[in-house]
Structures are given as structure tokens and as C-alpha cells.
Amino acid sequence: MFGGKTALVTGGASGIGEAAALRFAQEGATVVVADLNIAGAERVAGAIIAAGGKAAAVAVDIASDEANQVLFSTCRDRFGGLDAAFLNAGILDNWAEFEEYQTASFDRMLAVNLRGTFLGLKAAMPVLRPGGAAVVTASLAGLLGLPPAIGYSTAKHGLLGIVKSLAAPYARHGLRVNAVCPGSVLTPMVGVTEATPLVDPDTLEAPPYRGDLHPQHIAEVALFLASRRAAGINGLAVPVDAAFTADFGESNPE
């Protein structure tokens, strides 16, 4: 899917981003693995190189405008541009009822998950080559409220506003911007540190209804959205949620 192309993944050191970085590489891309956790990014880039692929690890704090500009100018200078930018890095705060929820948590969620991704897109879009695409990781919590994590949910809802607002202007440049909205995924973010090995994508099994997904379930959709196969999809928020948003739930049939 990505032979001769260059893909960047933020949050590439762990979870969904790690799965996506490995899958982009398996599909032929040179992969820029960007993360605050540079040791983790180097581990993932090293695994790609050990498997015969091409990768570079770059440190970035997505909350910093300057760091985003350095990251994407590095992509332009070293690789002549990007074909896919998967802006996936994010954080989840401690859960708290609204009455106890700290304003500082709200600010941090918006600073990293919303403003950070905005800054990433601002720096990434001019570096994407025509035919390329950006994909951001929103969340099911960007489609539905998540009462114990109001800042997180607000930030993820906000990302969809950015994605929809960029679709039309960048269509003129031959670029697309979409969001993937994962349900619950087994990653360190939700306390699951054991990585699930990647499988042949054509043998990937469906998660149980409303059940936990594996990082690869999200990575495959992100790759598809970033690829020419999704050329007709622009400005969309795609749930990857094992039917969570499809109905009222088995326990609440009314």
C-alpha cells in the first residue's frame, strides 16, 4: 500500500501508534516514528529496520509548536515530504466526577490532545505531497460524552471540528484529512502493557460486540484512510468501536 512512500506516526512508541508504525513499514513505507518517549520510538524504529524496513525515530512533544515545526521540517529535509501523517499521540487523565474534576486537567487535555494535534496538522499539511493524507486519532469519546473524563472527551470532540474544517480547503491541494474514533483498545493507556503481536491483516479477527479492540484493529483503518484506497473519503470521523455506537446496547434494548 505504501511502497516508495513516507509515513509519520506520532505516539509511535506504544499502543496504536506502534502497531501503525509497524504496519506502515510492512506495507513498504519509510516510517518516521515520533514520540515524547524517544527510547520507545527508537525501539520501534529499530524493530522496523531489523525486519528489513526503513525507519527513523524522532523526539517530539506534540504540545509544543516549535517541536512540531522541527519534526515536520525534518521530514521535509530528510525525506522530501510525507505521504501519510498519522497524528495519533494523546494522553488520558485520571477519571473524576465533574465536581472533583480539576481545571488544570481540563487545560492539559486540551493542550496536548486538541491544541497539540492542531499544531501538528498546521505543520504537517504543507509537508504532505499531493495525494497524501492526514489521519488523526480521536475517540469514541469524541462522539459520545465520557462523564469521568470531561477534558479528554471535550478535546476529542474538538478534533472532529478541526478535521471537518480542514477537509474542504486541503481538497484543493489534493490532500485529505480524516479521523479514526477507537472504542476501548488494549494499550498502556488503559493499563494493558502486554503488547499484542501483529497478525496477517487478512486473518484479523473481529472483537466481541462492544468489546475491547487490539491496536491493530485501529492501525488497519488508519492505514486505509491514509492510503489512496480511501481517496474518496475526506473530512470523516470513522468509528472503530465493535458496534458500540450502532445501537442502545444489549442490556438496554429500549
**Catalytic residue numbers?**
152
**121 contact partners, CB below 8 Å, separation of at least 6:** 85, 87, 134, 136, 162, 166, 177
Among residues 112, 127, 150, 222, which is the contact residue for ligand NAD, using CB under 6 A?
112
Contact 179/215 with Cβ under 8 angstroms? Answer: no
Query: Is residue 16 within the footprint of ligand NAD (CB under 6 A)?
Result: yes
Check binding of 35 to ligand NAD (CB under 6 A).
Answer: yes
Q: Is 63 in the site for ligand NAD (CB under 6 A)?
A: yes
Amino acid at 108: R
Dihedral (C-alpha) 25, 4, 126, 124: value to the nearest 10 degrees? 0
187 lies in the binding site for ligand NAD (CB under 6 A) = yes
Give the nearest distance from C-beta 92 to ligand NAD in angstroms. Answer: 6
| Per CB under 6 A, 234 contacts ligand NAD | no
When binding is defined by CB under 6 A, the residue of 6, 26, 105, 139 that contacts ligand NAD is 139
Tell me the CA distances in angstroms from 106 to 15, 153, 206, one per residue in order: 23, 10, 34
Residue whose CB is less far from ligand NAD, 91 or 167: 91
**Strand, helix or coil for residue 227:** coil
Distance CA(109)–CA(116), nearest Å, equals 9
- Per-residue cell: 223: 492505514
- Is 182 one of the binding residues for ligand NAD (CB under 6 A)? yes
Burial-class residue 226 by CB neighbours within 10 Å (0-12, 13-18, 19+).
buried
Minimum Å gap between C-beta 3 and ligand NAD is 26
Binding part of the chain for ligand NAD, among 84-92, 166-174, 196-204, 244-252 by CB under 6 A, reads 84-92
Structure-block grid coordinates of residue 149 = 473524563
β-pair type (128-137, 30-35): unpaired
Instruction: Annotate each residue in 199-218 with x if it binds ligand NAD (CB under 6 A) or - if it does not, as one string.
Output: --------------------
Among 189, 195, 198, 233, interactor with ligand NAD by CB under 6 A: 189
Tell me: does residue 44 bind ligand NAD (CB under 6 A): no
121 touches ligand NAD by CB under 6 A = no
Residue 119 lies near ligand NAD (rule: CB under 6 A): no
Instruction: Please report whether residue 17 would count as binding ligand NAD according to CB under 6 A.
Output: yes
146 binds ligand NAD (CB under 6 A): no
**Phi first, then psi: what are they for 228, rounded to 5°?**
-65, -20
Cell numbers 470532540: residue: 157
* Contact footprint for ligand NAD (CB under 6 A): 10-11, 13-17, 35-37, 40, 60-63, 88-92, 112, 116, 137, 139, 182, 184-185, 187-190
